A and B are shown apart, each in its own frame.
Chain A
Amino acid sequence: MQVIIFRKGIFMGDFGGLGIFFAIALIFPVMALIPAFLLQPRQPTKEKGIPYECGVDTVGKTYVQYRIGYFLYALIFVVFDIETVFLYPWAVRFGQLGLFALLEMFVFVGILAMGLWYAWKKGALSWK
């Protein structure tokens, strides 16, 4: 078996600096938090234990189920989002790309259209 040849004298390379930066960045807040944690007076009351919601008392349970429709809308939005992301650069360079790119874009849009069709058909677009 061959021996690995490393660039001589380098252990971490450019990532080393980055790693040290992160380490120091981590140390600063920790250094700030530790004295506070050690010095703080501890007097827990019931008031302090309840969830903080902009100073307003919470009403009912805190576990609330949101309507699934929100998520579905967000997901379908992604379909158009992606379409736009690809269509923009494609449209800008369309002149140079030629017929092949046109066909490819049709394929791409077609696949996304299938997704939209699916969502439509399954009733994801109707707010129930």
Chain B
Amino acid sequence: MFSDFMLTHAWLIPLLPALAFLWIGFFTRLHKKRSAAIAITMSSLSFLLACGVTWAVLSGPITMETPFVQKTLWFEIGSVRIFMGSLVDPLTAMMLMVVTMVSLLVQIYSVGYMAHDPGAGRFFAFLSLFAASMLGLVIAVNFAQLYVFWELVGLCSYLLIGFYYDKVSAREAAKKAFITTRIGDFGLLLGILLLQITFGTLDFQELKVLVPAYIWISGTSFMTIVGLLLFIGPIGKSGQFPLHVWLPDAMEGPTPVSALIHAATMVVAGVYLVGRAYFIFSALPVVMNVIAWLGGFTAFFAATIALTQRPIKRILAYSTISQLGYMMLALGVGSLTASMFHLMTHAFFKALLFLCAGAVIEAMQDEADIFKMGGLRKKMPVTFAAMTIGVLAISGLPPFAGFFSKDEILGAAAAVSTPLYLLGTLTAFLTAFYMARLLFVTFFGEASPGCPATETNAFMRWPLIVLAVLSCVSGLWGHFAGFGEWVYFGAAEETGIDWVIAGTSTVLSLVAIGLAYEIYVAKRWSAYEISQRFGVLYTLSFNKYYIDEFYTLLRRTFCDGLGRILYWIDLHVIDGIVNGLARLVGVLSTIFTFLQNGQVQRYVAVFYGGVIVLVAYSLFYAYKVLTLLGGAF
């Protein structure tokens, strides 16, 4: 009974935050506290519902093969019928839990973080809208619904990155994020349209049957193109190489936003999409290879950049890209379980790390460079403890969350391809190193004199504690509760630990942390000298491999050249027409209004004028028809 009720009301989960958005946007935008209260109430309700749904999924007969689907006809144009509804399977349930929980915690945190911001009402409205769109994306029953929410998520990220719209850099970052992800979205849209044209449906359940049959009959060549196009969307949204450039810049938004959107939930939309449409991707070996290698490369590539960055949020941003690469790698080597497991644990510890970073930045009065911090350990003990847990989790040390999920991925990679496994292990080593660097530089050493940092307020502290606990236990829980029997593709997976792989990576991580300790705390070796020794590599990494500059160059030569031509056309031809039209509209408007002089005589005169013209028309018409018929009259 209860579980049925929960499942049939799963559609409420995205709806509640959406209502909060509307309500705040229209009514309480200017009241900070009321807005926060509404947003948090709705998020909590939606979290409770998500809990209920998860319980229903766990206790009921719902598995990956037999999801709960509820849909209603959304619109119908010609023969195309598009439905909207909710699809609940373990994957959805897991995502619902993660998204609602993280967004709830982030909203609570924001109460403290945004306390002095005059735009807090707007902020909560956007956060609610984001939660709504992400949740809508998660429960989508078909690609059309998914795409709508996918775009909404993109819109929210634009709005939130550019939240401080009076800052030029924020505006630029917002535009960059929007445009870069749009490039990916375009590929996705093409893929979706091809699916619609080929199969006549976008429904996941129907495609699940149709796609394998199609591949069985016609081979994989066409579907490979479709699959690659579909994958371009996740490349953009999940910050995979080469469309990752927007994610580090997205740190211009308020830190809770970074935590929520650009680390924990939104960027995993791409990973989720691949997971949701896994029945397409897994049947296409070429695409799977692309996904695996692109993911592995991105993981490694971003980790090398993170080694040398200085702003705290930027390091975390690159680590996010790197971890997303891990998830893609896992998907590419055929393990949905590992990917989703890592998605979940990553959401917790990355949100934790970002929120800690936010607390640090707030305490340091908007100073983001880690080398200007130091010694915060004593001043912010709770934050320090939380951050340490986060770092240990992401470094993959037992028994923290990252250990289990990362080993799962490495194990899956090792089973498929040794180079990929090596790449992953190397990345794990780098990850441990740069995260330890972040921790040591920020919290150890001597505090600079006059450092204003103090412990954060309760609103910001409690979410940290909750997330820290989750970062500790979620891996263990997933491991022992059998995450693999829950979220899987094909056959259920054993969540066993390959002790060789786990041991290797643990040892490597420990070595990396030790190394970082030696360099940054004990100062056995000078960081400066090391950077000098690796001269070219260091510069490359520090400048993010000049990818932004490369894009700028591309844009200058191609887009700007084309742009200049188009601008000229726009200025002289299009604007000419538009301005002319606007002037014409004005003139016509004046003429018509002149006719309307308020005298009823004129009204009736115009009326009868119309009558005479129309009657004349009818007589003329009759005359013409008669002439055609050849009759006289």
List A residues at the B interface (Cβ < 8 Å): 3-4, 6, 8-12
Complex CA distance for A11 and B629, rounded to whole angstroms = 12
Q: Are A8 and B631 touching (Cβ within 8 A)?
A: yes
- Contact between chains at B626 and A11 (CB < 8 Å): yes
A4 touches B631 (CB 8 A): no
A12 touches B625 (CB 8 A): no
Query: Mind listing 6 A-B residue pairs with CB under 8 Å?
Result: A3-B625, A3-B628, A6-B622, A9-B633, A10-B631, A10-B633
Nearest CB on A from B147, distance (A): 41
Residues of the B chain whose Cβ atoms lie less than 8 Å from the Cβ of A8? 629, 631
Residue contact B625 to A11, C-beta cutoff 8 Å: no
Instruction: List residues 598-632 of chain B with CB under 8 A from any CB of chain A.
Output: 622-623, 625-626, 628-629, 631-632
Across-interface contacts of B626 in A (CB, < 8 A): 6, 11
Candidates B628, B631, B632, B633; contact of A12 at CB < 8 Å: B633
**Contact call B625/A6, Cβ cutoff below 8 A:** yes
A3 to B622, CA, bound (A): 11
Q: How far is the CA of A9 from the CA of B627 in the complex (A)?
A: 9
A12 (CB) vs chain B CBs: closest residue? B633
Q: Across the interface, do B629 and A6 meet the contact criterion of CB distance under 8 Å? A: yes
Q: Determine how close the nearest CB of chain B comes to the CB of A17; give it in whole angstroms.
A: 13
- Please indicate the chain B residues that have their CB under 8 angstroms from the CB of A12 in the complex: 633
Closest CB-CB distance, A15 to chain B, in whole Å?
Answer: 12
Minimum CB distance partner of A7 in chain B: B631
Q: Chain B residues near A11: list those with CB within 8 A.
A: 622-623, 626, 633
C-alpha spacing A3/B632, complex, angstroms: 18
Give bound CA distance, A4 to B623, whole Å: 12
With both beta carbons as reference points, the residue of chain A lying nearest to B625 in the complex is identified as: A4
**What is the chain A residue whose CB lies nearest that of B619?**
A11
CA distance A39 to B434 in the complex (A): 114
Report B-chain residues with C-beta under 8 Å of the C-beta of A4.
625
Interface of A is mostly: loop
The 10 closest A-B pairs by CB, nearest first: A11-B633, A9-B631, A8-B631, A4-B625, A9-B632, A6-B626, A11-B626, A9-B633, A10-B633, A6-B625
In the bound complex, residues from chain B placing their C-beta under 8 Å from that of A10 are: 631, 633
Q: How far is the CB of A9 from chain B (nearest CB, A)?
A: 4
Distance in angstroms between the alpha carbons of A8 and B632 in the assembled complex: 8
B629 CB contacts on chain A under 8 angstroms:
6, 8
Residues of B within 8 A of A3 (CB): 625, 628
Give B623's nearest chain A residue, CB to CB: A11
**A9 to B629, alpha carbons, bound, how many Å?**
9
Chain A residue nearest to B633 (CB atoms) is: A11
CB-nearest residue of chain B relative to A9? B631
Least CB distance from B401 to A in Å reads 72
Residue of A nearest to B628 (CB): A3
CA distance A3 to B633 in the complex (A): 18
Q: CA separation between A3 and B623, bound complex, in Å?
A: 13
Further contacts, 12 of them, CB under 8 A, given A3-B628, A6-B629, A8-B631: A3-B625, A4-B625, A6-B622, A8-B629, A9-B631, A9-B633, A10-B633, A11-B622, A11-B623, A11-B626, A11-B633, A12-B633
B623 to chain A, nearest CB (A): 7
User: Can you name the residue of chain A whose Cβ is closest to the Cβ of B631?
Assistant: A9
From residue A100, how far is it (CB to closest CB) to chain B in Å? 44
Chain B nearest CB from A23 CB (Å) reads: 14
Q: How far is the CB of B563 from chain A (nearest CB, A)?
A: 49
How many angstroms from the CA of A8 to the CA of B627 in the assembled complex?
10
User: In the assembled complex, how far is the CB of residue A104 from the closest CB belonging to chain B, in whole angstroms?
Assistant: 40
Q: How far is the CA of A8 from the CA of B628 in the complex (A)?
A: 11
Within the complex, what minimum Cβ distance (angstroms) separates A65 from chain B?
21
Contacts of B622 in A (CB 8 A): 6, 11
Contacts of A9 in B (CB 8 A): 631-633
B621: nearest chain-A partner, CB-CB: A4
Q: State A6–B626 Cα separation when bound (angstroms).
A: 7
How far is the CB of B631 from the nearest CB of chain A, in Å? 4
Nearest Cβ on chain B to A51's Cβ, whole angstroms: 23
Restricting to B198-217, which residues have a CB under 8 Å from any CB of A?
A: none
**Separation in Å of the B264 CB from the closest CB of chain A?**
62
Return B25 CB to nearest CB of chain A, in Å: 50
Q: Which residue of B lies closest to A11 (CB)?
A: B633
CA distance A10 to B633 in the complex (A): 5
Q: In residues 312-329 of chain B, which contact A (Cβ within 8 Å)? A: none
Cα–Cα distance between A97 and B371 once the two chains are bound (Å): 107
Chain A residues contacting B628 (CB-CB under 8 Å) are 3
* Cβ of A85 to closest chain B Cβ, rounded Å: 32
In the bound assembly, the distance between CA atoms of A3 and B630 in angstroms comes to 14
Q: Which residue of A lies closest to B632 (CB)?
A: A9
In whole angstroms, how far apart are the Cα atoms of A12 and B631 in the complex? Answer: 13
CB contacts (< 8 Å) of B633 on chain A: these are: 9-12
Taking the nearest CB of chain B, how far is it from the CB of A3, in angstroms? 7
Q: How far, in whole Å, are A104 and B31 apart by their CA atoms in the complex?
A: 64
Quote the shortest CB–CB distance from A111 to chain B (angstroms): 34
Contacts of B631 in A (CB 8 A): 6, 8-10
Which residue, of B625, B626, B632, has the highest number of chain A Cβ atoms within 10 A? B626
Complex alpha-carbon distance, A85 and B631, angstroms: 48
- Chain B: which residue is nearest A13 at the CB level? B633
| Distance A118 CA – B116 CA, assembled complex (angstroms) | 67
Chain A positions within 8 Å of B623 at CB level: 11
Expressed in whole angstroms, the minimum distance between the Cβ of B488 and any Cβ of chain A is 62
User: How far is A48 from B429 in the complex, measured between Cα atoms in Å?
Assistant: 117
For B622, B628, B633, which residue has the most chain A Cβ atoms within 10 angstroms?
Answer: B633
Q: Which residue of B lies closest to A16 (CB)?
A: B633
- How far apart are the CA atoms of A12 and B622 in the complex, in Å? 10
Q: Which single residue of chain B is at the shortest CB-CB distance from A10?
A: B633
A11 vs B631: C-alpha distance when bound (angstroms): 9
From residue 412 to 465 of chain B, which have CB atoms closer than 8 A to chain A?
A: none
- Give bound CA distance, A10 to B631, whole Å: 8
B89 to chain A, nearest CB (A): 54
Q: State A12–B623 Cα separation when bound (angstroms).
A: 10
Within the assembled complex, what's the spacing in Å between the Cα atoms of A89 and B61? 79
How close is A7's CB to chain B, nearest CB, in angstroms?
A: 9
The 0/1 profile, CB within 8 Å of A marked 1, for residues 343-369 of chain B is 000000000000000000000000000
CB distance from B9 to the nearest CB of A (A): 52
Q: How far is the CB of A77 from chain B (nearest CB, A)?
A: 30
C-alpha spacing A4/B629, complex, angstroms: 10
- Which of chain A's residues has its CB closest to B630's CB? A8
A6 to B619, CA, bound (A): 13
CA distance A11 to B623 in the complex (A): 7
Q: How far is the CA of A72 from the CA of B508 in the complex (A)?
A: 105
Give, as a whole number of angstroms, the nearest-CB distance from A19 to chain B.
Answer: 11
- CA gap between A6 and B625 in the complex, in Å: 8
Q: Taking the nearest CB of chain B, how far is it from the CB of A35, in angstroms?
A: 29
